[in-house]
Structure 1
Amino acid sequence: MATRRSPKLDKKQAVDTALTLLNEVGLDGLSLRAIAKALDVQAPALYWHFKNKQELLDEMATEMLRRMPSSAAAAPDAPWQERLLDANRGLRAALLGYRDGAKVFSGTRFTGTEHAAGMEAVLGALVAAGFSLPQAVRASTTAYFFTLGFVTEEQGVQPFPGERREGFDIEERAARMAGFPLAAAAGAGLFEEYDEGFEEGLGLLVAGIEARYLTA
């Protein structure tokens, strides 16, 4: 009687399963063993594709990038400010689609070149506007880091749309910090109103970039 072989495990299937599982258990609960269980395979089968969890995260971040809607791209003749705003709005929206999305994205190495087209467009718009290439790199990465940091903090309070971690009740916080009236009143701006806070912060950053590099 012939031995029945299990179907070959596809890397993309593993990554898709990992992203689905991420939304269920978060980054802390995600492991190669948990993914193997969800795929109904033995954990060693995953090591053909990923030597460790970091390699898995690199592939997950790359797949997240591939899934970002191209409609987020600004028009080809859009000014550099609009391109920078649009790129980071699109990044935030994409990251919020995954539990711990910003943590997965941070510090990873893209395994493909899908990110190069968007980078080229943003850098090209900045250089065309009068930035040197080093200035364009600094401007675009600063906006990128702001977005990653913002969403990391946002998801620390609201891990997933419709969820909110315990310990972030604004009224309870204000009462506890009553001796520090300004800090107490800052609660809503810190732990609510994330859409408004992101737009305001990104706008401040873009205005600062323009003031630093183009009007100094």
Structure 2
Amino acid sequence: MGSEATPEPKPGPTRGRPPRLSRARTIDEALRLLDEGGLDALTMRRLADALNARAGALYRYFATKQGLLTAMAEQMLAGCGDVADSPDWAQTVTALAHRLRAALLAHRDGARVYAGTRSIGPNTLGFAETAVAALIKAGFAPDDAARAMFSIVHFTIGHTLEEQAAAGDLADFTPLRRALDPGTYPALAAADAALTDPSLATHFEFGLTALIDGLRVGVRK
């Protein structure tokens, strides 16, 4: 009877080094922390701790927190400019606005992170290029096309800022309904259904359509 082979011991846990610090990993971790605790809780020190690195090591990639936020904003826009080409410029810019809103809503305080940043990365510039090119093709002068693009982007950011700031406060409209006394505020009381509509997507669609309708008038002149 032959002897049985001795089974190889299973490898025990290794004490490897933490993953190598990189710009991409730093941005990904910053977005994770943003979703976890919001923008106010995101500090360079907390980010360094999460990466198991010294705070000073982060400045190799980002000289300031604003630089980090700009990189995060650029990352959030990944794929936003990839919309199907359409002969109707309004359809193109509408799709872009919806993609931007969805990208900002995908992260806690996403609109606050994005607001005020000036990224020159491929995601941001690609998004802007798609919008401006569609507007120029429709007959806008290049400068007017850029201004129209900014108007759409700024509306989208502002609306999304309000959406994220109001999150959690839209469930109970009882105080507002009580305040809308028809004798004091007859116009507001008549618009009660819209004022207490929790579907902010409806408000966004209405505002975006009104903005684009205004741009249509401008391009015809």
TM-score range, shorter chain: 0.7 to 0.9
> How has the CA–CA distance of structure 1 residues 5 and 151 changed in structure 2, closer, same or farther, with 3 Å as cutoff?
closer
Q: Is the 8 A contact 1:84 1:122 kept in 2?
A: yes
Ranges in structure 1 where 5+ consecutive residues have no aligned partner = 159-163
Partner of 2:104: 95
1:207 correspondence with 2:213: yes
Deviations 1:55-79 (A, max 9, x none): 1101111111225483xx1x32331
Output the CA distance in 2 between the equivalents of 1:124 and 1:111: 17
Q: Structure 1 5/200 Cα, relative in aligned 2: closer, same or farther at 3 Å?
A: closer
Q: Deviations over 1:180-212 (max 9, x none)?
A: 354465585377221111111100000011112
Structure 2 Cα separation of the partners of residues 95 and 57 of structure 1: 13
Relative to structure 1, the CA distance from residue 7 to residue 124 in structure 2 (aligned partners, 3 Å threshold; closer, same or farther) is closer
The aligned counterpart of 2:159 is 150
Structure 1 residues 68 and 129: CA distance shift in structure 2, 3 A: closer
Mean alpha-carbon deviation: is it higher for 28-37 or for 61-70? Answer: 61-70
* Two-structure CA RMSD over aligned residues (Å): 2.4
Equivalent position to 1:53, from 62, 65, 77 = 65
What is the SS of the residue equivalent to 1:107? coil
Which residue does 1:174 correspond to in 2? Answer: 177
* Distance verdict in 2 for CA 1:190–1:119, change over 3 Å: farther
Counterpart in 1 of 2:86? Answer: 77
**Higher helix residue share:** 1
1:1-216 matches, within 5 Å, as 8-66=20-78, 68=80, 70=82, 73=83, 75-158=84-167, 164-165=168-169, 169-178=172-181, 179-183=184-188, 186=192, 188-189=194-195, 192-214=198-220, 216=221
Letter in 2 for 1:208: G
What TM-score comes out, normalization by structure 1 length? 0.84
8 Å CA contact 2:70, 2:117 repeated in 1: yes
Partner of 1:161: none
Report the Cα distance in structure 1 between the residues aligned to 2:99 and 2:77, rounded to whole angstroms.
10
Distance in 1 separating the partners of 2:148 and 2:61 = 36
How many residue pairs are counted as aligned between the two chains?
A: 203
C-alpha separation between the residues in 1 aligned to 2:36 and 2:212? 35
TM-superposition CA deviations, 1:139-161 (whole Å, max 9, x none)? 11101110000000110011xxx
1:79-115 CA distance string (max 9 Å, x none): 1010110000010011100011011111112142233
**TM-score, length-scaled by structure 2:** 0.82
- Identical residues among aligned pairs (%): 36
Bigger Rg, which one: 2
Equivalent AA in structure 2 for residue 174 of structure 1: R
Query: CA–CA distance in 1 between the matches of 2:161 and 2:210?
Result: 19
Moved more, 110-119 or 194-203: 110-119
Distance in 2 of aligned mates of 1:133 and 1:120: 11
